[in-house]
């Protein structure tokens, strides 16, 4: 992982402390991001997005109290363009059912589904896919 | 001289007398033919008067010149006096006018030349004779005993005969014309003759009577014959019969009397007067009888005519009856046919009623069955709804349970990985081995949860399509290529049909069966698998026919007691070390087959392989 590719900020949105602890550690170990921020639900994440700088990647859990993942996305879509620069990875605890799958596919902001518990490989693959030079080029052209 | 002149005059009068008698006789006979009682009586009365006058002419009185007129006396309240008076108007006796005098008593009799007395007034003849003796009175009597009087008139039929007692006449000094004697019934012989004559006429009459009787009998028979036919006529004829019977009785009475008379006449031939009386009465009676019979005959004739008429009417009626009989026969025939038709109709109606009753009963039982069936169906429907609801609940439960279990399990296995990576080397042997067991268990648990999730999802798909099983198996062999090559498994597949179903589920079904067939074998044995299919049930009816698939292997087989158990979820017959797997494969198979409307079962001998059969409806 080269230093030029290092991300500024990654946002983990999950109510489970254990998951947040594990995923934060995995991302730290892959050393792809300077900052790792944690929000406990959708509402916290929204507030963060509007008060701080926008993270490159958001790892979003679905089942959360106060505001769940779907509700968060609905609100996210209403935000000004300046707050909407993130790649959203939907974190899935168990397999999605048919309706959930359809709903997720219909939302363009969701780029990936992933197992809740990250692995180093998954993190590296995401960064490689969306933030390597060539990828950035492709992405910016689009 | 006087006598001579008397003789001459008497010869003259004799002639006249005879002629008169003849005329009278003729007249009487002619009259007698169609005898009428009243006219007969009148004739007889006239006759009587003539007889009396003639007697006077036939007798010569000794001192006839002394009288200025000729006097005739009548004894008793006799009506003859009128006849004699009438005669006296027309005739004279010896040229002298005639006077008629009535006497009530014999002692008063005097100053007359002739006395007429009838026996019916019961004057004693001897007393009269004693009183008139030597008074020159000629006694002319009627119906007195023979020889008792001087001249005695006798009623014979419709005429008179007379007898004279010449001794008495001469004793009184009368001269007698011989003609008088000649025509009189002078002797007993003559009396007898007369009697015989009457007897003859009587027998004649009797014969006639008999004839009439036979005629009557015939008529009776006729009447009896007709009696049977006509009841009305019968009554009439019955009355007539009675009358006839009555008359006959009278006749027989008379006959008896006649017979009695016969015997009496033989013994007492001298009592002629009585007999003549009886005779006369008899004759009258017979005449009456004859008249009555004639009347009767006429009546019978009329009755016969009426009977004839009746007979004709009867014949007419008979012909009518015959015609009506024919009509009746025809009608009877019609009625018979009608009867038969009616009987047939009745039988038909009874049959129809019976049939309808049976049908009705069948209908009722059917209805009852239908109601019961409907009830059961409703119950079954309710049960099935309930079952479905419970099934769904169960599936939901299984899904949610497995789904929600996945997350913590993932967390556990992730942290185990973290610990093993970071601190594995610093663990001692027990710690390392424990970590390995935990990792293994969490993996197995993950597998179980995945299988359970999949199981709960099976049968949800209701979108059935035509699935060609040949293609499915072809693809499956490709998917299982690795394990088939590793085990050198020999799979033979017969011609398989196209069925309606879920392709994914059918693929899983075959996959599980083939995997099991390869998996459960002795290590040395090379697996041999036969897959075939036959059509079963009624080929013509789509509803009841089905495809029966068979998957035969040469594996370890399944004991009889476990044949049911192996289809239950998470049931294992062997340890995981021996044969791997979650133990849910056959549960999947069962669920797939049943959700397609089929059945699954197996035949097996331990150590010699098993054959799994399942059916899919056509």
- pLDDT band at B4, cuts 50/70/90? very low
Burial bucket for residue B523 (CB in 10 Å: 0-12, 13-18, 19+) = exposed
pLDDT at B539 over 60: no
Cα–Cα distances in Å, from B390 out to B393, B395, B402, B460?
A: 5, 8, 18, 15
Q: Distance (Å) from the C-alpha of residue B403 to the closest C-alpha of chain A?
A: 6
| Secondary structure letter of residue B96 according to DSSP | B
Mean pLDDT of B496-517: 89
pLDDT at B605 over 60: yes
- pLDDT band at B510, cuts 50/70/90? very high
The pLDDT of residue A135 is: 45
Q: Give me the percent of chain B exceeding a pLDDT of 90.
A: 13
The pLDDT of residue B538 is: 65
- pLDDT band at B597, cuts 50/70/90? confident
Could you tell me the pTM of the whole model? 0.42
Mean pLDDT of B443-468: 81
pLDDT at B32 over 70: no
pLDDT digits (tens, 9 = 90+) for B82-131: 888 888 888 888 888 888 999 988 888 888 889 999 988 888 888 888 88
Contact A116 B404 (CB under 8 A): no
Cα–Cα distances in Å, from B460 out to B455, B457, B502, B582?
A: 10, 6, 10, 22
Contact B407 A25 (CB under 8 A): no
Residues 6+ apart with CB under 8 A from B446: B406, B409, B410, B413
The pLDDT of residue B235 is: 72
- pLDDT band at B233, cuts 50/70/90? low
Chain B residues in contact with A94 (beta carbon < 8 A): 402-404, 406-407, 453
Burial B346-365 (b: 16+ CB within 10 A, else e): eeeeeeeeeeeeeeeeeeee
Strands B151-156 and B138-142, sheet pairing: parallel
The pLDDT of residue B237 is: 64
The pLDDT of residue B24 is: 56
The pLDDT of residue B541 is: 56
**Tokens found for residue B219:** 């008529």
pLDDT digits (tens, 9 = 90+) for B468-478: 999 999 988 88
Residues of B at the A interface (Cβ-Cβ below 8 Å)? 402-404, 406-407, 410-411, 413-415, 418, 453
CA proximity to B533, closest of B498, B508, B491, B489: B498
Contact B403 A95 (CB under 8 A): yes
pLDDT at B212 over 90: no
Burial bucket for residue B448 (CB in 10 Å: 0-12, 13-18, 19+) = middle
The pLDDT of residue B342 is: 92
Contact B406 A16 (CB under 8 A): no
Mean pLDDT of chain B: 82
> Nearest chain A Cα to B406, which residue?
A94
Mean pLDDT of B50-71: 85
- Nearest CB to B418: which of A22, A95, A115? A22
Cα–Cα distances in Å, from B280 out to B201, B310, B344?
A: 12, 42, 87
pLDDT along chain A (142 residues), means of 10: 69 90 90 90 90 89 87 88 84 76 83 85 87 53 36
Higher pLDDT, B542 or B255: B255
Higher pLDDT, B227 or B46: B46
Mean pLDDT of B424-450: 86
pLDDT at B153 over 50: yes
Contact A93 B418 (CB under 8 A): no
- pLDDT band at B353, cuts 50/70/90? very high
The pLDDT of residue B266 is: 67
Chain centroid to CA B540 = 65
pLDDT at B1 over 50: no
- pLDDT band at B209, cuts 50/70/90? confident
Chain B residues in contact with A99 (beta carbon < 8 A): none
- Lowest mean pLDDT across A11-25, B138-152, B511-525, B559-573: B559-573
The dihedral over CA atoms of B275, B279, B285, B286, expressed in degrees to the nearest 10, equals: 140
Using CA atoms, how far apart are residues B197 and B276, in angstroms rounded to an integer? 11
Higher pLDDT, B19 or B111: B111
């Amino acid at each position: 992982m080269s230093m030029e590719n290092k991300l500024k900020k990654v946002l983990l949105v999950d109510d489970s402390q254990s998951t947040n602890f594990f995923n934060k550690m995995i991302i730290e170990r892959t050393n792809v991001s300077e900052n790792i921020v944690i929000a406990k639900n959708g509402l916290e994440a929204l507030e963060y997005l509007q008060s701080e700088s926008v993270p490159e990647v958001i790892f979003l859990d679905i089942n959360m109290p106060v505001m769940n993942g779907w509700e968060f996305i609905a609100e996210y879509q209403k935000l000004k363009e300046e707050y909407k620069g993130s790649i959203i990875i939907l974190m899935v605890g168990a397999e999605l059912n048919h309706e959930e799958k359809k709903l997720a596919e219909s939302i363009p902001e969701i780029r990936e589904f992933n197992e809740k518990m990250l692995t180093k490989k998954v993190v590296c693959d995401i960064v490689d896919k969306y933030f390597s030079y060539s990828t950035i080029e492709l992405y910016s052209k689009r | 001289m006087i006598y001579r002149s008397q003789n001459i005059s008497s010869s003259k009068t004799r002639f006249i007398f005879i002629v008169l008698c003849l005329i009278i006789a003729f007249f009487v006979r002619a009259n007698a033919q169609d005898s009428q009682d009243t006219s007969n009586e009148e004739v007889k009365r006239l006759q009587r008067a003539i007889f009396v006058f003639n007697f006077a002419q036939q007798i010569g009185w000794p001192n006839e010149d002394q009288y200025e007129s000729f006097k005739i006396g009548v004894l008793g309240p006799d009506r003859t006096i009128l006849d004699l008076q009438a005669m006296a108007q027309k005739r004279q006796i010896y040229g002298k006018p005639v006077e008629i005098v009535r006497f009530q008593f014999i002692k008063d009799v005097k100053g007359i030349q002739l006395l007429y007395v009838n026996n019916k007034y019961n004057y004693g003849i001897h007393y009269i004779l004693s009183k008139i003796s030597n008074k020159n009175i000629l006694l002319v009597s009627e119906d007195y005993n023979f020889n008792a009087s001087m001249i005695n008139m006798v009623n014979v039929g419709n005429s008179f005969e007379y007898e004279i007692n010449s001794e008495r006449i001469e004793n009184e000094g009368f001269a007698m014309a011989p003609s008088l004697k000649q025509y009189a019934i002078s002797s007993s012989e003559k009396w007898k003759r007369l009697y015989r004559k009457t007897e003859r006429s009587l027998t004649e009459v009797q014969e006639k009577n008999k004839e009439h009787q036979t005629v009557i009998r015939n008529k009776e028979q006729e009447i009896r014959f007709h009696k049977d036919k006509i009841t009305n006529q019968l009554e009439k004829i019955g009355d007539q019969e009675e009358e006839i019977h009555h008359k006959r009785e009278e006749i027989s009475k008379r006959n008896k009397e006649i017979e009695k008379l016969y015997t009496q006449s033989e013994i007492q031939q001298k009592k002629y007067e009585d007999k003549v009386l009886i005779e006369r009465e008899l004759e009258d009676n017979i005449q009456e009888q004859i008249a009555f019979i004639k009347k009767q005959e006429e009546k019978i004739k009329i009755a016969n005519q009426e009977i004839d008429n009746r007979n004709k009417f009867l014949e007419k009626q008979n012909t009518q009856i015959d015609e009506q009989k024919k009509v009746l026969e025809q009608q009877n025939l019609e009625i018979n046919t009608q009867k038969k038709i009616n009987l047939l109709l009745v039988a038909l109606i009874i049959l129809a009623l019976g049939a309808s009753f049976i049908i009705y009963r069948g209908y009722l039982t059917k209805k009852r069955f239908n109601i019961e069936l409907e009830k059961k169906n409703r119950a079954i429907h309710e049960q099935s709804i309930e079952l479905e609801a419970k099934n769904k609940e169960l599936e939901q439960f299984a899904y949610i349970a497995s789904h929600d279990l996945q997350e913590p399990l993932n967390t556990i296995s992730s942290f185990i990985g973290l610990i093993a990576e970071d601190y594995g080397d610093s663990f001692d042997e027990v710690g390392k081995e424990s970590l390995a067991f935990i990792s293994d268990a969490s993996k197995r648990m993950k597998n179980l949860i995945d299988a359970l999730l999949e199981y709960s999802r099976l049968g949800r798909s209701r979108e059935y399509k035509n699935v060609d099983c040949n293609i499915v198996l072809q693809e499956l062999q490709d998917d299982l290529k690795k394990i088939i090559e590793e085990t050198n498994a020999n799979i033979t597949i017969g011609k398989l049909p196209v069925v309606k179903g879920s392709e994914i589920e059918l693929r899983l079904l075959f996959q599980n069966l083939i995997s099991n067939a390869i998996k459960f074998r002795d290590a040395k044995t090379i697996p041999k698998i036969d897959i075939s299919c036959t059509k079963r049930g009624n080929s013509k009816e789509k509803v009841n026919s089905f495809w029966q698939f068979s998957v035969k292997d040469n594996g370890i087989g399944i004991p009889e007691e476990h044949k049911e158990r192996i289809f239950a979820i998470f049931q294992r017959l062997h340890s995981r070390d021996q044969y791997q797997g979650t133990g849910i494969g056959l549960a999947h198979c069962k669920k797939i087959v049943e959700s397609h409307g089929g059945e699954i079962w197996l035949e097996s001998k331990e150590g010699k392989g098993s054959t799994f059969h399942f059916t899919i409806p056509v």
